[in-house]
A and B are shown apart, each in its own frame.
Chain A
Amino acid sequence: MRTEPATATDPSGPAVDGEQAKRRGRGWLLLLPGMLWLAIFFLFPSVQLFFTSLYDPSGSYERGYAMTWHFANYVDAIRDTWNLFARSFLYAGIATLVCLALAYPLAYAIAFKAGRWKHVMLVLVIAPFFTSFLLRTLSWRTILADQGPVTDFLRTIAILPDDGRLLATPVAVIAGLVYNFMPFMTLPIYASLDKVDYRLVEAAGDLYASPFTGLRKVTLPLSMPGVVSGTLLTFIPASGDYINAELLGTPSQYMVGNRIQSAFLIERNYPLAASLSLILMAIVVLMVMVYVRRAGTEELL
Chain B
Amino acid sequence: MAEGKHLRLEAVTKKFGSFVAVDDLTLTVPEGSFFALLGPSGCGKTTTLRIVAGLEDPTVGRVLIGDEDVTQLRPYRRPVNTVFQSYALFPHLTIFDNVAFGLRRRGVKDYRQKTSDMLELVQLEGYDDRLPAQLSGGQQQRVALGRALINEPGVLLLDEPLGALDLKLRRQMQIELKRIQTEVGITFVHVTHDQEEAMTMADSIAVMNHGVIEQLGAPGELYENPATTFVANFLGQSNLIRSDVVDSAGDDVVIDCNGQKVAVEGRRSHVGGRSAWLGIRPEKIFASVAGTTARNGHNRLTGGRVTDVSFVGVSTQYLVAMPWGQELMVFEQNTGQRPPLTNGDEVDLGWSAAHAFLLDVHQDATAGVMTPEDAA
Chain A residues in the interface with B (C-beta under 8 A): 197, 199-200, 202-210, 213-214, 217-218, 221-222
Contacts and interface: CB of A to CB of B under 8 A. Distances in A.
Q: Which of A206, A208, A213, A214 has the most CB of B within 10 A?
A: A206
Contacts of A205: 54-55, 74-76
Contact of B90 (A208, A213, A218): A218
B88 A208 contact: no
Given A199-B86, A203-B89, A205-B76, 5 more contacts: A199-B88, A204-B101, A206-B76, A206-B82, A209-B101
B106 A202 contact: no
A202 B83 CA distance: 11
Contact of A222 (B88, B91, B101): B91
A210 B76 contact: yes
Interface in B251-290: none
A203 B91 contact: no
B90 A200 contact: yes
B338 interface: no
A200 B75 contact: no
Contacts of A217: 101
Contact of B106 (A200, A208, A214, A221): A208
Contact of A199 (B84, B105, B148): B84
A213 B105 contact: yes
Contacts of B75: 202, 205-206
Given A197-B88, A200-B88, A200-B90, A206 B106 contact: no
Nearest to A207: B102
B105 A203 contact: no
B168 interface: no
Contacts of B55: 202, 205-206
B88 A203 contact: yes
Contacts of B88: 197, 199-200, 202-203
B53 interface: yes
A202 to B, nearest CB: 5
Of the four ranges (under 10, 10 to 19, 20 to 34, 35 or more), the interface on chain B belongs to: 20 to 34
Contacts of B54: 205
Given A202-B55, A213-B105, A208 B151 contact: yes
The list of the 5 closest CB pairs from A to B, nearest first, reads A207-B102, A208-B105, A203-B88, A205-B75, A199-B88
Contacts of A197: 88
B374 to A, nearest CB: 24
Interface string B62-103: 000000000000111000111010101111100000000110
13 contacts: A199-B86, A199-B88, A202-B55, A202-B88, A203-B84, A203-B89, A206-B82, A207-B76, A207-B101, A207-B102, A208-B105, A209-B76, A214-B76
A206 B81 contact: yes
A203 B54 CA distance: 11
Q: Which of A197, A207, A208 has the most CB of B within 10 A?
A: A207
A196 to B, nearest CB: 10
B147 interface: yes
Nearest to B50: A202
Given A202-B55, A222-B92, A208 B76 contact: yes
A114 to B, nearest CB: 18
A208 B102 contact: yes
A5 B309 CA distance: 52
Interface in B31-74: 53-55, 74
A207 B105 contact: yes
Given A206-B81, A209-B76, A221 B147 contact: no
Interface in B324-374: none
Nearest to B153: A206
A156 B102 CA distance: 50
Contacts of B90: 200, 203-204, 218
A134 to B, nearest CB: 42
A207 B92 contact: no
A214 B104 CA distance: 12
Contacts of B76: 205-210, 214
A203 B102 CA distance: 10
Q: Which of A200, A214, A222 has the most CB of B within 10 A?
A: A200
Nearest to B97: A217
A222 B90 CA distance: 9
A255 to B, nearest CB: 37
A204 B76 CA distance: 8
B86 A207 contact: no
Nearest to A208: B105
B91 A209 contact: no
Nearest to A206: B82
